[in-house]
Amino acid sequence: MDTSSSSQVLLPPLSRVVVSGGTHGDEMGGVYLVQGGAPCLKRTTFTAQTILSNPRATEARRRYTEADLNRCFTSASLSTPLSADSPYELRRAQELNRALGPKGGPGAVDVICDLHNTTTNMGLCLIGYSTRDWICLHLYRYLQEQMPSASVRYLVFEEGEEGSYSLESMAKHGFAMEMGPQPQGVLRADLFFQMKQAVTHTLDYIELFNTGTVFRGGGVEVYRKVCTLDYPRDPHTHQITAAVHPQLQDRDFCLLSPGDPLFLTLAGGETLPYEGETPLYPVFVNEGAYYEKNIAVTLAQKETVLLPPMSVQRE
C-alpha cells in the first residue's frame, strides 16, 4: 500500500493538452477520433489539440513502418543523432519531442492522452508510469465515477526515467488510454464511442481542476506490472509450441494462482500450469502485437494508492 500524505496538494493549472492517436497505425479508435478533429475538445481554461502520431503507419494501416514509435521516447532515443539510415519512427519521435516537449523540460505540454486499442479483453485501462502523479490518478477515479459500467482500471509500468519509453511520457502528466478487445486494423463502433466518451470526461475533469474543484482524497486500486511471460518455444527453432490456455483467454485482470492453466501445447493438448510462487493478475493476455516482442502475458500485482485531496494552485 502506498501511504501517501492526506494533506491537500496544490498543483499548477493545466494549459496545454494533447490528445494523440495513431501512435500505432492499425489501432483505429484513436486514428478515427483524432482524424475527426475531436469536436469535444473545446474548453475555456486550456487549449487542446489532436495529433496523428504516426501518419505513415496510419496510411499503411500497420502498427509501424520501421520501428515501434511507442518505444522511441527514451532520453537516449530522443538524443540519438539522426542519419540517412535512421528509422522513420525515430525521426518522428524527435519531431514530436520538439513540438510537444522537450521531454522533462519546463516547456513540455501539461497533459498527453495517447489513444490505443488492444486485441485483449482489457476494457478501458489507463497506463502510466507513476503512483504519485496525482493529476492522472485523480482522473482515473473521476472516470470510474463517470463511467461505472466501463470497469476502468489503471496499470502502472516501470517507474523512473529509463522505464518511460512511450509517447505520453513527454508530458508533465501523461497516460495511455487502452481500449479492447478490438482487432488490429478494425474499428468497433461501441469502443470508438466509449473512447470518445472517456476523452470528453477527461477534458471535463481538466476544466473542473482548472476552475478550482477540490478533488477528495481516498484510496484507489491500481495494477503494477511485475513481469512478462513468453510462449513456450522449441529450443532449436524458437517456434511457439503452446498457446494461451482457453481458461485464461479473455480473462485480463482476473487473478491467476499457482497451478492454474496457463498454456495448452499445440502437439498434444497438454495443459501447462502457471508455476509462479504468488497469485498475480494477467493483462495483455495473448495480445496480437506482442508476438514479435515474445510476450504472451504480462503479470501485475494489485495495490492500493491513497490519493491526497487535490486542487489547483492559485497565483
State the pLDDT at residue 6.
65
Question: How does pLDDT run along the chain (315 residues), one tens digit per residue?
Answer: 444 446 999 999 999 999 999 999 999 999 999 998 665 678 999 999 999 999 999 999 999 999 999 999 999 999 999 999 999 999 999 999 999 989 999 999 999 999 999 999 999 999 999 999 999 999 999 999 999 999 999 999 976 544 589 999 999 999 999 999 999 999 999 999 999 999 999 999 999 999 999 999 999 999 999 999 999 999 999 999 999 999 999 999 999 999 999 999 999 999 999 999 999 999 999 999 999 999 999 999 999 999 999 999 987
Evaluate the omega torsion of the peptide bond into residue 181 and state whether it is cis, within 30 degrees of 0. yes
Residues in Cβ contact with 26 at an 8 Å cutoff, skipping those fewer than 6 apart: 57, 61, 62, 63, 184, 185
Residues in Cβ contact with 41 at an 8 Å cutoff, skipping those fewer than 6 apart: 19, 48, 49, 50, 203
State the pLDDT at residue 40.
66
Task: Say which residue the cell 525515430 belongs to.
Answer: 90
In the 3-class helix/strand/coil scheme, how is the chain assigned residue by residue? CECCCCCCEEECCCCEEEEEECCCCCCHHHHHHHHCCCHHHCCCCCEEEEEECCHHHHHHCCCCCCCCHHHCCCHHHHCCCCCCCCCHHHHHHHHHHHHHCCCCCCCCCCEEEEEEECCCCCEEEEEECCCCCHHHHHHHHHHHHHCHHHCCEEEECCCCHHHCCCHHHHCCEEEEEEEECCCCCCCCHHHHHHHHHHHHHHHHHHHHHHCCCCECCEEEEEEEEEEEECCCECCCCCCECEEECCCCCCCCCCCECCCCEEEEECCCCCEEECCCCCCEEEECCCCHHHCCCCCCEEEEEEEEEEECCEEECCC
State the pLDDT at residue 41.
78
Which residue type occupies 80? T
- Cα–Cα dist 23/130, whole Å: 21
| Domains of the chain, CATH where assigned | 9-222+305-312 (3.40.630.10), 228-297 (2.20.25.160)
